[in-house]
C-alpha cells in the first residue's frame, strides 16, 4: 500500500512536469518592452498580434515592488523594485485584456489589445 501511495504521489507531483518535456520555450515569440514608473505602465495600451505568443518584458523603475496582475491574461507576477521580469502571454484570441499593478491599482492600469 505504502509503495503504491508513494508512487501515486510521485506521479501526481511529476505529471505536470512531464507535459513540459519536449515543449520548447517560446523562442519565436514577439517581445514587447513595458516600463513601470511612478506606478504607471508605459505603454498602458499594448497591441499584440492575436493567436501568437508574446513576451512582455516589464521593467519596474520604481523602488517599490509591484505585482503585475491580470485574471484576463491569467498572469500574476511580482516584480521587485528596480527589476525586470518577463511575462509569457499565451496566444490570445482577438479582444481586450485588462491588467493592473495590484499594489497601486489606482494608477497602475493597462490593457492588452490582441488583433
Partner 1 sequence: MLAAFIIVFREAIEAGLIVGIVLAATRGLAHRGRWIAYGVGGGVIGACLVAAFAGELGNLFEGSGQELFNAAILLFAVGMLTWHNVWMASHGRDMARQLQQVGAAVASGDRSLMALALVVGVAVLREGSEVVLFLYGVLMGGASPMTIGAGGALGLLGGVALSVVMYLGLLAVPTKRLFGVTSGLIVLVAAGLASQAVAFLQQGGFISMLMTPLWDTSWLLTDGSVPGRLLKTLIGYTAQPDGAQLIAYLATIALMVGLMSATRPRVRPLPAHAE
Within 34-63, which residues bind partner 1 (CB under 8 A)? 53, 63
**Phi, psi dihedrals of residue 71, rounded to the nearest 5°:** -75, -25
Size of the site for partner 1 (CB under 8 A): 45
Residue 75 within binding range of partner 1, rule CB under 8 A: yes
Pairing mode of beta strands 30-37, 40-42: antiparallel
CB of 50 to partner 1, least distance (A): 12
Say how many Å lie between the first and final Cα of the chain, rounded.
Answer: 54
Q: Tell me the Ramachandran region of residue 23: left when phi exceeds 0, alpha when psi lies from -120 to 50, beta otherwise.
A: beta
Residues near partner 1 (CB under 8 A): 1, 4-5, 8-9, 11-13, 15-17, 19-20, 23, 25-26, 53, 63-67, 71-72, 74-83, 85-88, 90-91, 93, 102-104, 106
Amino acid at each position: 500500500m505504502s509503495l503504491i501511495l508513494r508512487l501515486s504521489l510521485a506521479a501526481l507531483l511529476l505529471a505536470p512536469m512531464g507535459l513540459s518535456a519536449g515543449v520548447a520555450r517560446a523562442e519565436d515569440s514577439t517581445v514587447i518592452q513595458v516600463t513601470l514608473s511612478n506606478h504607471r505602465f508605459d505603454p498602458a495600451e499594448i497591441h499584440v498580434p492575436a493567436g501568437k505568443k508574446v513576451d512582455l518584458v516589464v521593467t519596474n523603475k520604481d523602488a517599490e515592488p509591484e505585482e503585475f496582475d491580470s485574471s484576463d491574461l491569467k498572469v500574476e507576477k511580482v516584480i521587485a523594485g528596480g527589476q525586470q521580469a518577463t511575462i509569457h502571454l499565451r496566444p490570445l484570441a482577438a479582444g481586450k485584456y485588462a491588467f493592473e499593478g495590484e499594489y497601486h491599482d489606482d494608477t497602475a492600469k493597462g490593457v492588452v489589445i490582441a488583433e
